[in-house]
Amino acid sequence: MLGTGRESPVQRAISVICMIILTKLDGKTFLLNETLIEVVNETPDTVILLGNGHSYIVRESINEIMNKISENKRTARRMRLKTAQDTDAPLT
């Protein structure tokens, strides 16, 4: 878990990868933990509803958000695979 002090550098990096960069309507960018996303709607603005009840209106389309999440997941898989190959550890 991020912030426990016991995670490896790879675990910390994978935790950061779960964050996607999004843009609010006022042009300010922010990081959002993709694992908290529950629902995304386009009405026509893109509204992201999180599991904790918070919502964000962003400039990115649903497709752009999906692409960012997919790329993050690919990167995390590559990092886990590379780490397992380097240490001969099993994938988890």
Query: For residue 21, what are the β-bridge partners?
Result: 31
Q: Is residue 35 part of a domain?
A: yes
Q: What are phi and psi of 65, to 5 degrees?
A: -65, -45
Q: State the pLDDT at residue 5.
A: 57
According to DSSP, residue 3 is labeled T
Report CA-CA distances (Å) from 76 to 28, 43, 70.
26, 31, 10
Looking at residue 14, which CATH number applies to its domain? Answer: 2.30.29
Report CA-CA distances (Å) from 8 to 2, 13, 26, 57, 92.
10, 9, 37, 34, 14
- For residue range 17-74, list pLDDT tens digits in order: 688 999 999 999 999 999 999 999 999 999 999 999 999 999 999 999 999 999 988 8
Q: State the pLDDT at residue 27.
A: 97
Q: Is residue 92 part of a domain?
A: no
Q: Is residue 4 part of a domain?
A: no
Choose between 3 and 45: higher pLDDT: 45
Q: State the pLDDT at residue 77.
A: 82
Report the number of distinct structural domains present in the chain: 1
**pLDDT band at 2; cut points 50, 70, 90:** very low
Residue 39: give the domain boundaries.
Answer: 9-83
**pLDDT band at 13; cut points 50, 70, 90:** low
DSSP symbols for 39-60? EEEESSSEEEEETTS-EEEESS
